[in-house]
C-alpha cells in the first residue's frame, strides 16, 4: 500500500492513442476466446462486443492505481451485467489488477473467477451484482458518497440494454437525474440481445436516449466500436453538471467475422470454433496464423 497523501496520488499511466486502444481491444478479444474455450461455453458474444468499451475504460478513462486498488479516490467501475466476466477478467488481468495466471481457473470448481463477478476476486470488484437492474442503484450510492466526501472519484456503470426492462433501474435513473449526479456516467451496451434473442422480441426499450433525457440526464448515442467517438463522449461527460448516459451501439461477436451479429446469449464454443475465431482475429490484426 502507498503512504502518499491521496491528493498527491498520480493515477496509473493511461493512453488516448486510438491505435493503441484498438490493439488492446483486439488482445482482449483473443483473451475472451481463450478463457471461454476450455469450458466450451460462456458469454463470448457479449465479451467480444464490449471489448472496445473495456479497453477504453481501463486503459484510458478510469483513474486507478494497480499497486493500491483500495486507493480512496479511485474511480469506481460497476459491471451491472455481472455475468459478462470473460471480458471483465481479461481486462483486469491486462491492467495488472489480477494475476493473469489465476485466470486459468475461470469457471472451475471453487475458483473465485466464477461466471458471475463477485467480491471473492478481491477489492477490484467494487460490488457483487448480477440481479439485473441493480448496478445503477449501487453506483448512485457510490457517486453520492464521493460527492459528500468531496472526492474527485467518478463512478461508471456498464449495463446491458435488456436491463432497461427492469423497473428498479428507472427509479434509480429518476433519482440520479434529480440529484444531478455529475460524477456518474452510465454506459448502455446496446447490443440488441438478451436471453430470448433480439430485445424487441421481449420488451422494446427504444428510444433509450429520449427516455434518459426526460429523466434529467445528459445523453449521447455513439458507435460502441468507434474509439475516437467514445473517448470524446467520455471527455464531455466529465465537464457536465448532470449524470451522463452513453448509449453505445455494439455488435455481438465484434471482431470475429464468423460470429458477428449472431445473437447467442450463451454461445457454445467447441475447440474448432475457438480455433477459427482466434485465426480470424489474427488475420484482421495482420499477425498471420497463430
User: What are the structural domains, with CATH classification, of the chain?
Assistant: 17-284 (3.40.50.970)
In the 8-state DSSP scheme, what is residue 32? H
Report the C-alpha dihedral over residues 108, 111, 114, 118, rounded to 10 degrees: 170
Residue 127 Cα distances to 30, 100, 157, 179, 184, angstroms: 26, 21, 11, 22, 16
Q: What is the reported pLDDT for 13?
A: 73
- Is the pLDDT at 9 greater than 70, yes or no? no
Cis preceding linkage at 141, omega within 30: no
Report the C-alpha dihedral over residues 17, 30, 32, 155, rounded to 10 degrees: 0
Q: SS3 of 248, please?
A: strand
pTM > 0.95: yes or no: no
Would you give the end-to-end CA distance of the chain in angstroms? 39
Q: What is the reported pLDDT for 133?
A: 82
Residue recorded with cell 497523501: 5
Residue 288 Cα distances to 19, 42, 48, angstroms: 19, 26, 20
Residue 195 Cα distances to 41, 147, 172, angstroms: 14, 37, 24
Angle at 104 between CA 99 and CA 107, to 5 degrees: 110
pLDDT tens for residues 142-189? 999 999 999 999 999 999 999 999 999 999 999 999 999 999 999 999
Q: SS3 of 218, please?
A: strand
pLDDT tens for residues 26-71? 999 999 999 998 877 678 999 999 999 999 999 999 999 988 989 9
pLDDT tens for residues 184-240? 999 999 998 887 778 888 899 999 999 999 999 999 999 999 999 999 999 999 999
> Which of 63, 59, 58, 75 has the alpha carbon at shortest distance from 10?
63
Amino acid at each position: 500500500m502507498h503512504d502518499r497523501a491521496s491528493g498527491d496520488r498520480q493515477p496509473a499511466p493511461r493512453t488516448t492513442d486510438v491505435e493503441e486502444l484498438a490493439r488492446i481491444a483486439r488482445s482482449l478479444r483473443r483473451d475472451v476466446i481463450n478463457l471461454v474455450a476450455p469450458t466450451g461455453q460462456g458469454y463470448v458474444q457479449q465479451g467480444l462486443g464490449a471489448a472496445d468499451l473495456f479497453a477504453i475504460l481501463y486503459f484510458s478513462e478510469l483513474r486507478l492505481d494497480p499497486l493500491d486498488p483500495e486507493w480512496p479516490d479511485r474511480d469506481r467501475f460497476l459491471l451491472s451485467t455481472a455475468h459478462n466476466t470473460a471480458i471483465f477478467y481479461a481486462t483486469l488481468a491486462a491492467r495488472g489488477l489480477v494475476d493473469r495466471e489465476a485466470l486459468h481457473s475461470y469457471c472451475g470448481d471453487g475458483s473465485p473467477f466464477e461466471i458471475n463477478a463477485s467480491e471473492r476476486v478481491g477489492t477490484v470488484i467494487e460490488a457483487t451484482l448480477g440481479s439485473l437492474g441493480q448496478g445503477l442503484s449501487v453506483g448512485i450510492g457510490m457517486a453520492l458518497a464521493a460527492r459528500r466526501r468531496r472526492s474527485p472519484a467518478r463512478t461508471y456503470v456498464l449495463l446491458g440494454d435488456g436491463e432497461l426492462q427492469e423497473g428498479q433501474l428507472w427509479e434509480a435513473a429518476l433519482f440520479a437525474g434529480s440529484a444531478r449526479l455529475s460524477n456518474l456516467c452510465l454506459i448502455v451496451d446496446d447490443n440488441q440481445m438478451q436471453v430470448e434473442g433480439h430485445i424487441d422480441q421481449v420488451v422494446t426499450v427504444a428510444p433509450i436516449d429520449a427516455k434518459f433525457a426526460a429523466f434529467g440526464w445528459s445523453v449521447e448515442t455513439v458507435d460502441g466500436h468507434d474509439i475516437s467517438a467514445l473517448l470524446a463522449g467520455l471527455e464531455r461527460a466529465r465537464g457536465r453538471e448532470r449524470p451522463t448516459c452513453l448509449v453505445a451501439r455494439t455488435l455481438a461477436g465484434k471482431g470475429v467475422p464468423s460470429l458477428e451479429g449472431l445473437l447467442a446469449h450463451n454461445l457454445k464454443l467447441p475447440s474448432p470454433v475457438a480455433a477459427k475465431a482466434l485465426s480470424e482475429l489474427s488475420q484482421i490484426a495482420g499477425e498471420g496464423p497463430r
